[in-house]
Amino acid sequence: MEKIVILLQMRVNKELLIQELSFKTSRSGGKGGQNVNKVSSKVMLNWDVANSQAFDAEQKDLIAERLSNRISKEGLLQLDSSIDRSQLKNKELVTERFFNLIEDALKVDAKRIPTKTPKSVILDRLDRKKKQSSKKANRQWKFDD
C-alpha cells in the first residue's frame, strides 16, 4: 500500500522534478573516432536535494541518507550518461536512471516479522548432531588394561 502511495506521489512530482534538474553536455571520451571529437553527446544531470520543492523535509532526509554516496559536498546529486551517440538518448537515459534512483530511495522497507524455527527442523538438527557424534566416538581407539 505504501509503495503505491509513493508511486502516485512520484507521478505528481515528476513535472516539478524535471523543472528542477539541470543538464550539462560535454564531449564523451573513449572510442568513437571523429564523432567523439566533434559532438557533445555526454549528458550530466545535477539536482539540488536540499532546495527541492518536489519533496517534503522527511523525504529529502531519506533521499540524502540513502543516496549519500552519490551526493556531492555541495548537496548535488550528480549522474551522467555517455552510452549512446545521441545527446537526446543520453538525456533520456540519465533522466530515467535518476527517477529509478529516487523511487528506490523512497521505498519503505517492509518490517521483518521474526518466525519461530519449526520443531521438526530442530529435531532433525539434533538427530544429525547425534549421528555425527556417534560416528566420531566410534573412530576412537579404546585401550584395555
pLDDT, tens digit (0-9, with 9 covering 90-100), for 24-47? 988 887 676 777 778 888 899 999
Compute CA 128 distance to the chain's CA centroid, rounded to the nearest angstrom: 40
Report the distance separating Cα 89 and Cα 45, nearest Å: 13
60-106 residue pLDDT tens: 898 899 998 988 898 899 999 888 888 899 999 999 999 999 988 88
Half-sphere exposure of residue 14: CA atoms within 13 angstroms, side-chain side: 12
Structural domains of the chain in order of their starting residue, each with its CATH number: 2-106 (3.30.160.20)
Report the distance separating Cα 7 and Cα 103, nearest Å: 8
Report the distance separating Cα 95 and Cα 44, nearest Å: 10
pTM over 0.85: no
Residues 6+ apart with CB under 8 A from 62: 105, 106
Half-sphere exposure of residue 15: CA atoms within 13 angstroms, side-chain side: 1
Report the distance separating Cα 113 and Cα 107, nearest Å: 18
